[in-house]
Amino acid sequence: MKVSSAMAPVQPPVQLPVQLPVQLWFQLLLLLLVSRAASAPPPRHLPPCQVVQMDVICRDLSLRGAPLNLPPDVQRLDLSRNQVQNLTQESLGFHTSFHHLDLHANKILFIQPGLFRDMSELRVLDLSKNHLNVFALSKLHIGRLTAVESLDLSSNGLYTGMSDYFLSDSPSLANLSLNSNSITKIAHNTFSGSLFLKKISLHNNVILEIEDGAFDILHHLTELDLSKNSITCIDDFNLYNLKVLNLNRNSIEIFQSTQSQNVSQLRSLDLSQNKMLYFPHISENNMLEFLNISRNQLQTVNVSGSQGQQSNLTFNHLRYLDMSHNQLSSIPEHQFFKCMTSLEVLNVSHNCIRSFSITHEGLLRTVRVINLSYNSLQSLAFGAGALRSLRRLYLHGNALTALDPQLFQRLSSLRYLHLEQNSVRVCGSEEPQCGPGPVLSEQEAPPGCVCFSRAHKLHSLYLSDNNLLTLPEKAFVDSPLKVLDLSLNPGLDMHKDSLSGLEHSLVHLLLSENNISSLTADLSSLRSLRHVDLSTNQLRALPEWSGQSSIESLNLQNNSLVSLDRRSLLALERSLKTLYMGSNPLSCCHSLAALHMVQHSGVVVPDIEAVTCVHQEHPEPVNIEKVTQDMCHGAGVPNYAVVIVTLLVLLILLGLLLKCVHLRRKRHSRSFTA
Ligand SMILES: *[C@@H]1O[C@H](CO)[C@@H](O)[C@H](O)[C@H]1NC(C)=O
Ligand SMILES: *[C@@H]1O[C@H](CO)[C@@H](O)[C@H](O)[C@H]1NC(C)=O
Ligand SMILES: *[C@@H]1O[C@H](CO)[C@@H](O)[C@H](O)[C@H]1NC(C)=O
Ligand SMILES: *[C@@H]1O[C@H](CO)[C@@H](O)[C@H](O)[C@H]1NC(C)=O
Ligand SMILES: *[C@@H]1O[C@H](CO)[C@@H](O)[C@H](O)[C@H]1NC(C)=O
Ligand SMILES: *[C@@H]1O[C@H](CO)[C@@H](O)[C@H](O)[C@H]1NC(C)=O
Ligand SMILES: *[C@@H]1O[C@H](CO)[C@@H](O)[C@H](O)[C@H]1NC(C)=O
Ligand SMILES: *[C@@H]1O[C@H](CO)[C@@H](O)[C@H](O)[C@H]1NC(C)=O
Ligand SMILES: *[C@@H]1O[C@H](CO)[C@@H](O)[C@H](O)[C@H]1NC(C)=O
Ligand SMILES: *[C@@H]1O[C@H](CO)[C@@H](O)[C@H](O)[C@H]1NC(C)=O
């Protein structure tokens, strides 16, 4: 709804006196007309603001103040992105009924002191992106913010001390944003006029110093965002009521809590992107659930401060620990993890860890996810009974070769296993080291290959780029694999029965970039298989499928296919929905029938632009969509002609020969008679 129509100024009803001389009537009428003319268009014409019940939205209309004829009981006024410079009673139309005032992105330099004092309903005030630094220079206070609970002063060019002019009398303030200003120091009395603050956001300033007591006086403070500042050290953290502390992107080297028996309520601490050399010291009585120390300079998990404190680590509530992108080379399992009895997600990827082990019975029994990708792992050990909730294990980008063969069989809840970019070998299920018999000792079964059979919950296995050379028989028996990625193992020799055992589970099979020239493994018995990627290989013919195929998408891009076998295509036709086959040296006239079939079965060829074929009459490959039946008939005609001409020539020759023999005979008989 538009304001202009809804709020057109209402003319007072004109009561005409009944008995008046005609002249007077005329004069009145004239007066009325003149006044009407003057008010149409009315001088207090409203720009096209939107009005929804008590809310007026006048965004981006080049206004210098509120429209003058607002509904008298307007509750929410959105004047963001306008040209307001002086914020006064007049520019707000002398209204005091506001609950929510949005003045974001104006040019406010001046606020009439005391303006908000009488706005007893004003809860949310957004003054972000203005020029309030200019106002602060005038050393005036904006006065009492009687009811304001949420105040946004972000992006106002405010520097140290300037916030005082806005906060000195704000008894109801709970939520304050001072983001993106130029504050360098938080003085001890910065918030002394706003003691009910619950949440303060100081993201993107240049804070170097926080005076003692600055936040301590705020007993209700639960959330503090100090991210993207210049803090270098916090050595006496004592905000026991704080629940969320964000210190992301500072230059912090040390984080240390004060020693105390008080229980810290802190649930989330983000120290990522700092310069921490040691693990933060957090008081023993903590409730911390989330700790992020990603992208720091940790070389050890030793706690900052003295060495003795290591044994006093307690993180019984910790659920998420992110230590990725550091320089850790090892983690002493017992010492470090024993106190983390609730840990669910551990990220230590992008470090330099060479060896990782969790061997103690019952250690990390609640962990669901471990991310150890991109380290230098050479050895990995899990004890029986450890990590019994582990579902996802990321080990890609390491140097794993020789592993305990039954390592993954032992992880009873493991569902996703990422081993891309390593050098593991796959054992056949029949090999003694894969059980199910008694576990062999290391002497009996020297580590060489790893068993992926009998991992009873494993359903996604990623083994791409492992220099895998062979895939033995029944390699995945009794593992309910749905996804198997074997791509980027050029030269991989798959045993004919390597995938047997996966008949009823395997859905996705990835075999791209394996330099396969003909597929040896039998795919036709894989009844559940829906998605097959065979791209970038050397296939010269389609693999054979029995009539049972349920393949829905097949990628044959970038192979060496010259023609598509009709029989194989027929087997696929029933289920196939998507077929990729660009970048193959198809022959136009050999593929015609198959293509015709594909075109008429509703199969989608997403890369049809890249599907070309060679035709002897065209120097360049022809897009398959441009190939017509005639092009191939045309090519057939000369062949027939050659045959016919040859036949004719032969017939003529034969005729001549017969004639010759006949003549000779005649001549002979003639000489005989002669
Ligand atoms: C804003 O207010 C100041 C002081 O009251 C005054 O000097 C100035 O002219 C006003 N500016 C505008 C654009 O109204
Ligand atoms: C606090 O203020 C910020 C910025 O004005 C806003 O995005 C946020 O939703 C507010 N939070 C609460 C709890 O009011
Ligand atoms: C513990 O907290 C209370 C307030 O909750 C405070 O008075 C006391 O000083 C704190 N103790 C320590 C050792 O800091
Ligand atoms: C930890 O912080 C980094 C960088 O700030 C971020 O990318 C990552 O998602 C965070 N970790 C978690 C678990 O949220
Ligand atoms: C870590 O602490 C252990 C003892 O708790 C000590 O032996 C080791 O040298 C420390 N490492 C570093 C890098 O400080
Ligand atoms: C660590 O715990 C021991 C007792 O196990 C105690 O004597 C020592 O004071 C504690 N250290 C710290 C720094 O709390
Ligand atoms: C670390 O891994 C966890 C879980 O996998 C993820 O939530 C987090 O974002 C990762 N950290 C980074 C920096 O990507
Ligand atoms: C593992 O951690 C890295 C950060 O180092 C992150 O980029 C990646 O997304 C994480 N993996 C998962 C699956 O969370
Ligand atoms: C791919 O296979 C061909 C033989 O089929 C072989 O000559 C070539 O070296 C192989 N390439 C790679 C990268 O293994
Ligand atoms: C196609 O395969 C060849 C090797 O067979 C490879 O070098 C090339 O990068 C592949 N092209 C694409 C687009 O994948």
How far away, in angstroms, is 558 Cα from ligand 10 center? 6
Highest mean pLDDT among 9-18, 61-70, 206-215: 206-215
Nearest atom in ligand 3 to 219's CA: 5
Write down the residue that tokens 């057939």 correspond to. 636
3-state secondary structure 331-385: CCHHHHHCCCCCCCEEECCCCCCCEEEECCCCCCCCCCEEECCCCCCCEEEECCC
Above 80 in pLDDT, residue 357?
Answer: yes
**Alpha carbon nearest to ligand 5 atom 13, residue:** 300
Give the model confidence (pLDDT) of 397-418 as tens digits.
Answer: 999 998 889 999 999 999 999 9
Q: Which of 478, 503, 529 is the last residue of a domain?
A: 529
Phi first, then psi: what are they for 287, rounded to 5°?
-115, 20
525 located within any domain: yes
Q: Which of 467, 502, 529 is the last residue of a domain?
A: 529
412 located within any domain: yes
416 located within any domain: yes
Greater confidence (555 vs 262) lies with 555
Identify whether residues 143 and 274 lie together within a single domain: no
485 located within any domain: yes
Q: In a 3-state reduction of DSSP, which class is residue 182?
A: strand
Residue 449, C-beta contacts closer than 8 angstroms, at least 6 positions apart: 405, 424, 425, 426, 427, 431, 433
Identify whether residues 408 and 488 lie together within a single domain: yes
pLDDT class of 510 with cuts at 50, 70, 90 = very high
Whether residue 294 has its Cβ less than 6 Å from ligand 7: yes
Give the span between the Cα atoms of 183 and 116, in whole angstroms.
25
Identify whether residues 399 and 493 lie together within a single domain: yes
**Averaged pLDDT for residues 632-654:** 57
Residue % of the chain over a pLDDT of 70:
83
Domain boundaries, position 498: 376-529
Q: Where are the beta strands (DSSP E) in 250-307?
A: 254-257, 268-270, 290-292
Give the span between the Cα atoms of 449 and 437, in whole angstroms.
17
pLDDT class of 360 with cuts at 50, 70, 90 = confident
Identify whether residues 383 and 519 lie together within a single domain: yes
Give the span between the Cα atoms of 541 and 564, in whole angstroms.
7
- Alpha-carbon distances of 91 from 135, 217, 379, rounded to whole Å: 17, 37, 71
Write down the residue that tokens 């914020």 correspond to. 87
Please classify residue 488 by burial: count the beta carbons closer than 10 Å to its beta carbon, then call 0-12 exposed, 13-18 middle and 19+ buried: buried
Identify whether residues 42 and 190 lie together within a single domain: yes
**Alpha carbon nearest to ligand 3 atom 14, residue:** 260
Above 60 in pLDDT, residue 323?
Answer: yes
Residue 492, C-beta contacts closer than 8 angstroms, at least 6 positions apart: 468, 469, 470, 471, 486, 511, 514, 515, 516
Ligand nearest the Cα atom of residue 303: 5
342 located within any domain: yes
Give the model confidence (pLDDT) of 568-611 as tens digits.
Answer: 888 888 888 999 999 999 888 887 777 777 777 788 889 988 88
396 located within any domain: yes
Give the span between the Cα atoms of 60 and 615, in whole angstroms.
62
Please classify residue 320 by burial: count the beta carbons closer than 10 Å to its beta carbon, then call 0-12 exposed, 13-18 middle and 19+ buried: middle
Ligand nearest the Cα atom of residue 138: 1
How far away, in angstroms, is 180 Cα from ligand 1 center? 27
**Alpha carbon nearest to ligand 8 atom 7, residue:** 349
360 located within any domain: no
How far away, in angstroms, is 106 Cα from ligand 1 center? 15
The total number of structural domains that make up the chain: 4
Long-range contacts of 308-311 (CB under 8 A, 24+ apart): 309/281, 310/335, 311/335
Nearest atom in ligand 6 to 311's CA: 1
Above 90 in pLDDT, residue 344?
Answer: yes
**Alpha carbon nearest to ligand 9 atom 10, residue:** 515
pLDDT at 41: 37
CB 77 within 8 A of CB 56: yes
Give the span between the Cα atoms of 194 and 176, in whole angstroms.
10
Identify whether residues 293 and 393 lie together within a single domain: no
367 located within any domain: no
Ligand nearest the Cα atom of residue 555: 10
Ligand nearest the Cα atom of residue 374: 8
CATH at residue 74: 3.80.10.10
Q: Which of 152, 177, 209 is the last residue of a domain?
A: 209
Give the span between the Cα atoms of 234 and 229, in whole angstroms.
13
pLDDT class of 655 with cuts at 50, 70, 90 = low
Give the model confidence (pLDDT) of 426-481 as tens digits.
Answer: 998 888 878 765 555 555 444 588 999 999 999 999 999 999 999 999 999 999 99
Identify whether residues 190 and 105 lie together within a single domain: yes
Identify whether residues 336 and 441 lie together within a single domain: no
pLDDT class of 72 with cuts at 50, 70, 90 = confident
Identify whether residues 343 and 402 lie together within a single domain: no
Identify whether residues 447 and 413 lie together within a single domain: yes
Identify whether residues 199 and 241 lie together within a single domain: no
Best of 104, 123, 177, 194 to mutate for ligand 2, by most ligand atoms within 8 A of CB?
Answer: 177
Give the model confidence (pLDDT) of 20-55 as tens digits.
Answer: 444 444 443 333 333 333 333 333 445 588 998 889
pLDDT class of 219 with cuts at 50, 70, 90 = very high
Whether residue 290 has its Cβ less than 6 Å from ligand 4: no
Whether residue 491 has its Cβ less than 6 Å from ligand 9: yes
What type of residue sits at position 246?
A: N
**Alpha carbon nearest to ligand 2 atom 13, residue:** 175
pLDDT at 266: 96
Above 90 in pLDDT, residue 674?
Answer: no
Instruction: Supply angle C-alpha 18, 20, 21, rounded to 5.
Output: 150
Identify whether residues 441 and 309 lie together within a single domain: no
**Alpha carbon nearest to ligand 1 atom 10, residue:** 86
Q: Is the pTM of this model over 0.85?
A: no
